[in-house]
Amino acid sequence: MQLIDAIVLAGAVNKGKLRACSKAEYEAMIDINKKMLVEYVVGALIKVDRIKKVLVVGPSM
């Protein structure tokens, strides 16, 4: 089985409909049960056997 890398694009500014739920600056940082949204995404990806590396790309802070 060939392993692949995953890239998570986590730079969307929170200015759409999700803004009503959270004042986080970026959608990836929205808190859900004391975890950021991006943590759920990365957690799911690292459980996939075919994924070798997970790279999260977001804005510089």
Residue ranges per domain, the chain?
Answer: 4-57
Cβ pair 38, 28 in contact under 8 A: yes
**Average pLDDT of span 28-54:** 97
φ/ψ (deg, to 5) at 13 = -70, 135
**Average pLDDT of span 20-28:** 96
pLDDT at 60: 83
Average model confidence (pLDDT) across the chain: 96
The DSSP bridge partners found for residue 31 are: 36
**Average pLDDT of span 25-48:** 97
Report pTM: 0.89
Gap between the Cα atoms of 26 and 61, Å rounded: 11
